[in-house]
Amino acid sequence: MVVTERLIIRTNGNNHVVDLTGPVAEAVARSGLRSGIVTVFVPGSTAGLTTMEFESGAVEDLQRWFEEAIPATREYRHNLRWGDQNGHSHLRASLIGPSLTVPFQDHRLLLGTWQQIVLVDFDIRPRRREIIVQIIGE
Amino acid sequence: MVVTERLIIRTNGNNHVVDLTGPVAEAVARSGLRSGIVTVFVPGSTAGLTTMEFESGAVEDLQRWFEEAIPATREYRHNLRWGDQNGHSHLRASLIGPSLTVPFQDHRLLLGTWQQIVLVDFDIRPRRREIIVQIIGE
Amino acid sequence: MVVTERLIIRTNGNNHVVDLTGPVAEAVARSGLRSGIVTVFVPGSTAGLTTMEFESGAVEDLQRWFEEAIPATREYRHNLRWGDQNGHSHLRASLIGPSLTVPFQDHRLLLGTWQQIVLVDFDIRPRRREIIVQIIGE
């Protein structure tokens, strides 16, 4: 059994971290499936998905790390070719990846207590993101 | 068909790399499923999963890279807010990700010869980890 | 329903980025399955998979970042132990990961318009890669 849903998420861009755990858990509950996997996927090449303890300190640490390891301010070939300003956004997104797979059992995501599913939007402007939540199970 | 198992893994923390290939392959064999995917998932926000050639040199290289790229010794907002010491652990875990999906066919994981499934525990103390191994297939 | 295919990809190594989107989309179409997930997996410990806007500027940015963040020229324990030269290749591959899961619906991958599935071969010589494309759905 496969159930495909979409979440519409409005972000501020610029490393905005959005907690998707609630909506993903609700999609799993709505599916009626007891156990299986949920694949969360962000279409687009300037955002990524991972898990973290979603508290403001850890969020700021993540944002700062990306600013330092892949700075917005250096020269990127992508920007030179296309007149864009978001070369760093592309690079950060490729590194963290667009896809996350989380198992569930008895209708419940098997996350840790302090582990949330997050979208990180690396683009340089506010974006309306359509997130795919696809549930496969029985 | 969905089969969900759990592995109990005791780690030393501090970038301890643990080879999970054997137990995951055994879970696939036990499931009786011929082909499909196995999702390996670590609940918690201070450990991650990936694959590597599990030999001591490559393990040390991985550990050193994380020490340098995301040092334990600098200031993290997570630590300031919560009195914790493991801000770097959270960041490393988010970067590498908590989930790994490996296909299998004819009851056999489709890994390379020198490619192992590893847990990396970034926390700063020994941990008892419950790893989810969920098999979906036919 | 599970369908397992293999793609044979010849790379130049040395951070060669190969667009796999076309062959993966064709495998999904051939499967006849309407909706589900495709798992793309690279056996081996010196290559990885992610998504990106596959244009030469972004490709060069990605290659340069890996050269700088995980340089080929420093000393790696893997090389010292085995007389290899590709310690950096292993590390880069573990960071980006060997596996990518992409949902599809109505026989179509749910990628963004400027988002391609790419293999990055970090090894230091040309390689013949066998990529697993496994489709699970209904």
- For chain C, the C-alpha Rg in angstroms (whole number) is 16
- Report the predicted TM-score, pTM, of the whole model to 2 decimal places: 0.98
Residue of A nearest to C60 (CA): A77
Whether residue C125 is contained in a domain is answered as: yes
Mean per-residue pLDDT, B19-27: 98
Question: Strands C116-121, B99-105: parallel, antiparallel or unpaired by DSSP?
Answer: unpaired
Beta bridge partners of A5: A133
- pLDDT band, very low/low/confident/very high, at B56 (cuts 50, 70, 90): very high
pLDDT of residue B116: 98
**C1 touching A, CB under 8 A?**
no
Residue window 77-106, chain B: list those with CB within 8 Å of chain A: 77-82, 87, 90-91, 93-95, 97-99, 101
CA proximity to B85, closest of B45, B127, B125:
B125
Q: Look up the CATH number of the domain holding residue A97.
A: 2.60.120.460
Nearest Cα residue to C112 out of B4, A128, A2, B131: A128
Return the half-sphere exposure (C-beta side, CA atoms, 13 A cut-off) of residue C77. 14
Q: Which helix (H) or strand (E) holds C36?
A: strand C36-41
B94 pLDDT tier (thresholds 50, 70, 90): very high
Q: How confident is the model at residue B73, as a pLDDT?
A: 93
> Residue B34's closest chain C neighbor by CA?
C2
CA-wise closest residue to C28 among C100, C97, C102: C102
**Beta carbons of C97 and B53 less than 8 Å apart:** no
In this complex, do A50 and B95 lie within 8 Å of one another by their Cβ atoms?
yes
**pLDDT tens digits for chain C (138 residues)?**
999 999 999 999 999 999 999 999 999 999 999 999 999 999 999 999 999 999 999 999 999 999 999 999 999 999 999 999 999 999 999 999 999 999 999 999 999 999 999 999 999 999 999 999 999 999
Could you say which of C102, C105, C114 has the minimum Cβ distance to residue A4? Answer: C105
What would the DSSP string read from start to end of B10-50? EE--TTEEEE-HHHHHHHHHHH---SEEEEEE--SSSEEEE
CB pairs under 8 A between B and C: 97
The fraction of chain B above a pLDDT of 70, given in percent, is: 100
Place of tokens 């944002």: A63
pLDDT, residue A76, reads: 97
Query: Would you state the pLDDT for residue A57?
Result: 97
Please, which residues have CB within 8 angstroms of residue C120's CB and are 6 or more apart in sequence? C15, C16, C17, C18, C47, C48, C49, C50, C62, C92, C96
Which residue type, as a one-letter code, is found at position C23?
P
Round to whole Å and give the CA distance between A78 and C56.
8
Residue ranges making up the domain that contains A80: 24-137
Look up residue C19 and give its DSSP letter.
Answer: E
Determine the Cα–Cα distance for residues B14 and B117; give it in Å rounded to an integer.
18
Question: Does C7 map to a domain?
Answer: no
Whether C5 is in a domain gets the answer: no
The maximal CA–CA distance of chain C, rounded, in angstroms, is 51
Cα–Cα dist B132/B49, whole Å: 11
The model's pLDDT over B60-83, given as tens digits with 9 standing for 90+, comes to 999 999 999 999 999 999 999 999
| Per-residue CA distances from C122 to B46, C44, C76, C93 (Å) | 27, 11, 15, 7
* Domain count across chain B: 1
Is C42 a domain residue? no
Low-confidence ranges of chain A (pLDDT < 70): none
Q: How far is A77 from chain B (nearest CA, A)?
A: 24
- Which of A53, A60, A102 is facing B45, going by the closest CB pair? A53
